[in-house]
Amino acid sequence: MASTILLRHLRRAFGWNLAKVTPTASEKADLAAAGVVDAAAVRYAVWRRSLLLVALAPTAISFGLAAFDMIEGGFGDLTPLGLSLEIAWLAAAAGLTAACVLGIRKWTRPASASGLLTAAWAFAFVLPFVFALMPAGLLYRVGSMTPLAHPPLPEMNSKLAKVLPVEERKIDLAPEQLRKFLAVKEIVIEFILSATAYLLLLPAVLSLIPGAVNGCLRVKALLPAAQLPGWLLVCAAPVFLLFWLIILVVANHVARSPLLVFGVLFWAGAPIWYAIRGRVFVQSHIGDAEAAGIAQVKHLVLATTLVGVGLLAAFALTTKVMGINILGFDRSTAVATKIEELSDDGDVSWEDVQTALAESTSFIDALDLTSWRLAVDFLAKLLVVTAVFADLVLRATLSAWKNDKSFRSHPGAPGYDATAAATAEFFGSPARTTP
């Protein structure tokens, strides 16, 4: 019985066609008691409840992993500001879980809890960027890497001795050259110390466009006559590829690999199928034939995504950067582990970083807590973003319908229709006339 209920909620949460959502008798009764009897409204409320029930597990696990990671890492290397942001980060993870719980409790009236869910997601989305944009020196205690504005030459040489390898410490440089040299070293150290924060940005970024696409698709299936969700879907799909092309250009200079190039193109380019086959999404009605066409596009997107994921996995497992594997399965020899140990000491030098790189065989341990946290956090945010954007797109669609309905009775409507018809003919798309 429990497995049947779980399977029903999973099918609803990950299925795209809300027209096929079938509420149970008890769900119908609960909604009827709340005054919700329209078939579309019933299906949306039931789907949204199932989505939040499924999202509750990964959001709660993500919160638990974040709390465990914070406790395990300790607070000794954090400044007061860094500690405050860590606590805020934990509160954001807890907020997503609480918003899911509230949404489930108030499932018969989604509007009453959708604002909190949107606010919780926005806070959890923005906070990692705030954390990553902060200089490492404001978040972590790395005192030996913080130079004075105009240090005297003897002190500068003393600081240089901390960041230069032994064989380079006898370089004769002018004070201004030493300052510039130390500034470059400091930038590198800050980037390395902030690597974990950069990684934790990925779930928020990776889930945004797919979640928005999922939300648009589900509202289109719910209200087949509406065109706005279809147009939003068609327009949003290419953005994912354009965003990752910028990152690919930079990443390919570091690790030149066809596996990386084609992996990103296939994976990030998969949603392009929604734009290529856009006609089926922007039609005013979805019948069986149109639903079959959408299902075919979904299969194309899934197949293309899997090819891209496979290529990226092969890249991560086989490619070396600076002689170091990207992914490994030994935590003790991962760069991330060694840098974490160095940051815990609170005093990181350039020589320490060089030693860590020399002793490492991989950059990231695939079985490390951070890796699992990234995967769970991505799933949690993807499900939450789907609910958030479905709510936003549904509100926008209903608002557009209300505005259009009101405008039909406006004295300027015939003039607008004439102008629109002429413009449509100008673009080679004559307006359809109805008897």
Assign 3-class secondary structure to the chain.
Answer: CHHHHHHHHHHHHHCCCHHHCCCCHHHHHHHHHCCCCCHHHHHHHHHHHHHHHHHHHHHHHHHHHHHHHHHHHCCCCECHHHHHHHHHHHHHHHHHHHHHHHHHHCCCCCHHHHHHHHHHHHHHHHHHHHHHHCCHHHHECCHHHCCCCCCCHHHHHHHHHHHCCHHHCCCCCCHHHHHHHHHHHHHHHHHHHCHHHHHCCHHHHHHHHHHHHHHHHHHHHHCCCCCHHHHHHHHHHHHHHHHHHHHHHHHHHHCCCHHHHHHHHHHHHCCHHHHHCCHHHHCCCCCHHHHHHHHHHHHHHHHHHHHHHHHHHHHHHHCEECCEEEEECCHHHEHHHHHHHHHHHCCCCHHHHHHHHHCCCEEEECCCHHHHHHHHHHHHHHHHHHHHHHHHHHHHHHHHHHHHHHHCCCCCHHHHHHHHHHHHHHCCCCCCCCC
pLDDT on residue 145:
42
pLDDT on residue 254:
76
Pick out the chain residues at pLDDT < 70: 73-77, 136-137, 140-200, 286, 336, 338-354, 356-357, 428-435
Residue 422 lies in a domain: no
pLDDT on residue 136:
63
Residue 411 lies in a domain: no
Residue 29 lies in a domain: yes
User: 22 is in which domain, residue-wise?
Assistant: 2-141+201-329+366-402
Residue 414 lies in a domain: no
Residue 285 lies in a domain: yes
> In 10 A of CB 83, how many CB atoms?
14
Q: Kindly state the tokens that stand for 349.
A: 């030098």
pLDDT on residue 166:
45
Residue 407 lies in a domain: no
Residue 259 lies in a domain: yes
pTM: 0.78
pLDDT on residue 310:
94
If one counts the domains in the chain, the total is 1
Q: Cβ(259)–Cβ(311) under 8 Å? A: yes
pLDDT on residue 174:
54
pLDDT on residue 164:
45
Residue 424 lies in a domain: no
